Amino acid sequence: MRVTYTLPGFLPAEATPAEPARTGDGPFRARLNFVPAPRWADWKSLLGLDQAPVNASAIGPPPRPASLEVQDAATQRRIWRQMLDRQVSAAEDSSSDLNSAVESNNRDLQRMLTLLMRFREVEDEISARHMAESGG
């Protein structure tokens, strides 16, 4: 049995001689501007494995706003105490005129203010103990 691997009408032809290059224009390849291929030191740099991963530990903190003032600890404590005193006095004023709708919110507010006042007392105790131990 004989198998024919050609299709009728598509018989392979003999190779024709190559056309000579045109002298006027130059070959098309010479017209292309090739960008040189980057040279990688190793496969890790090729895959980008030598770069630090982008996650929360690699990203720095946001820039500080220009309006933010840097204050020492004593100034921050004074501001904190003044704010707490204002909130306590406002809560005492609003507790005098209570209605049933505000009662539950007022109770939560009172619990939070009590917690913050206790925090302030503990802070005072720690500060007094530190001053007594350091002799200042």
**Distance separating alpha carbons of residues 69 and 85, to the nearest angstrom:** 22
- The mean pLDDT of 83-97, rounded to a whole number, is 83
Structure-token pair, residue 15: 């190779």
**Distance separating alpha carbons of residues 121 and 82, to the nearest angstrom:** 14
Give the model confidence (pLDDT) of 91-134 as tens digits. Answer: 888 776 656 556 767 888 889 999 999 999 998 899 899 889 98
What confidence score (pLDDT) does residue 21 get? 53
**What ranges do the domains of the chain cover?**
73-134
Give the model confidence (pLDDT) of 28-77 as tens digits. Answer: 777 777 777 767 678 887 788 888 777 767 777 888 888 888 788 888 88
Whether the Cβ atoms of residue 79 and residue 71 lie closer than 8 Å to each other? yes
User: Who wins on pLDDT, 27 or 72?
Assistant: 72
